[in-house]
């Protein structure tokens, strides 16, 4: 293995990408890049400074002076560890608003690529291997049947005490699949050089073992 390498994990919603990526990062002793947390960090910073998502010029200036990094499980915004500050419903809502702004997405992809140039990282998403890290040394495409992914999501929500209908969860999964695969900008698809792993019927430990085997 190279001294510095990138691992890209892509796949549809509910395939277990984040869970697997975090475990693999820990096993390999590298940083897991939580892209969702990056958007939360932007939402936190913009909200703190009173920058409205409608004020594109202000957002652009904000992003020009923004630095985000990960180290030992911490997310660092402009030199400050902000782990607890970005896990609120308000910041989650703000992250959703700012993530739709092209300038924000472009800046964060730039930061992600720079991270991958100076240290080993693992990142999961919908277009990591096909867009963000096209040159990743290791590309994994995790998938599972829509029914199994819906069952996982149903169990997760039920465990949190939420009353949900399985058929509704399944329809939501299928809609997200369609939306992700048909969107105009960087749609979900398996990179030509990615290894596909179908996690249907596999335990988390079995999937981790399969991914580590491909990398090592």
Q: Which two tokens stand for residue 9?
A: 């994990």
Q: Which two tokens stand for residue 196?
A: 């596909």
Whether 17 has a binding-site annotation, put simply, is yes
Whether 18 has a binding-site annotation, put simply, is yes
Whether 14 has a binding-site annotation, put simply, is yes
Per residue in 85-99, is it b (16+ CB within 10 Å) or e — as a string? bbeeeebeebbebbb
Whether 50 has a binding-site annotation, put simply, is no
Structural contact between residues 164 and 158, judged by C-beta atoms closer than 8 angstroms: yes
Alpha-helix residue ranges (DSSP H) falling in 2-145: 17-28, 35-48, 56-64, 89-99, 102-118
Whether 15 has a binding-site annotation, put simply, is yes
Q: Counting beta carbons within 10 angstroms of the beta carbon of residue 1, is it exposed (0 to 12), middle (13 to 18) or buried (19 or more)?
A: exposed
Whether 13 has a binding-site annotation, put simply, is yes
Whether 52 has a binding-site annotation, put simply, is no
**Dist. CA 130–CA 183, nearest whole Å:** 14
Residue list for the binding site: 11-19
Residue list for the binding site for ATP: 11-19
């Amino acid at each position: 293995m190279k001294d510095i390498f990138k691992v890209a994990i892509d796949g549809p919603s509910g395939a277990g990408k984040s869970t697997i990526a975090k475990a693999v990062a820990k096993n390999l002793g590298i940083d897991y890049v939580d892209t969702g947390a990056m958007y939360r960090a932007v939402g936190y910073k913009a909200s703190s400074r009173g920058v409205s998502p409608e004020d594109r010029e202000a957002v652009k200036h904000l992003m020009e002076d923004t630095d985000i990094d990960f180290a030992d499980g911490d997310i660092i915004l402009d030199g400050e560890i902000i782990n607890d500050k970005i896990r609120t419903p308000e910041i989650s809502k703000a992250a959703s608003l700012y993530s739709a702004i092209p300038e924000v997405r472009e800046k964060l992809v730039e930061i992600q690529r720079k991270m991958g140039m100076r240290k080993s990282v693992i990142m999961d998403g919908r277009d990591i291997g096909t867009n963000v890290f096209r040159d990743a040394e290791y590309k994994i495409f995790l998938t599972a049947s829509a029914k199994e992914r819906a069952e996982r999501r149903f169990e997760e929500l039920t465990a949190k005490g939420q009353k949900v209908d399985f058929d509704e969860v399944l329809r939501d999964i299928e809609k997200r699949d369609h939306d992700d695969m048909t969107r105009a900008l960087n749609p979900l698809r398996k990179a030509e050089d990615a290894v596909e792993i179908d996690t249907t019927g596999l335990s988390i430990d079995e999937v981790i073992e399969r991914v580590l085997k491909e990398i090592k």
